[in-house]
């Protein structure tokens, strides 16, 4: 049972890391606007825009600078990962 929980949470953490990488790539693509019109750019937009749109509703751009992706990365990398880790610790403590 413990091995199954380890596997599930390992997959969740790997999924978070992969999404973080895709998010960073999509954000960097904004520096070259034509890159977002490619097939990869459109695919990344479909994957990442719903998550970024949530933060853009609450954080307005500061002039020409949109800081919502920075907050989105912080939330994903720190808060969500930390929350999943705490759930993992609670489950593991209850199994032992």
- Say whether pLDDT at 96 is over 80: no
E strand segments, 12-71:
none
pLDDT grade, residue 3 (50/70/90)? confident
- Say whether pLDDT at 62 is over 90: no
Q: What is the mean pLDDT of residues 50-69?
A: 89
Task: Look up the pTM and report it.
Answer: 0.86
81 exposure class (CB count in 10 Å sphere: 0-12, 13-18, 19+): middle
Cβ 16 vs Cβ 76: under 8 Å: yes
* pLDDT score of 60: 85
Q: CA-CA distances (angstroms) from residue 89 to 3, 5, 27? A: 14, 11, 32
- How far is Cα of residue 9 from the mean position of the Cα atoms in its chain? 16
């Amino acid at each position: 049972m413990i091995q199954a929980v380890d596997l599930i949470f390992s997959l969740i953490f790997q999924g978070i890391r992969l999404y973080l990488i895709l998010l960073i790539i999509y954000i960097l693509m904004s520096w070259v606007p034509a890159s977002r019109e490619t097939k990869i750019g459109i695919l990344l937009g479909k994957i990442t825009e719903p998550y970024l749109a949530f933060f853009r509703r609450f954080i307005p751009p500061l002039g020409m600078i949109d800081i919502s992706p920075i907050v989105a990365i912080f939330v994903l990398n720190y808060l969500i990962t930390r929350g999943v880790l705490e759930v993992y610790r609670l489950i593991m403590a209850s199994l032992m």
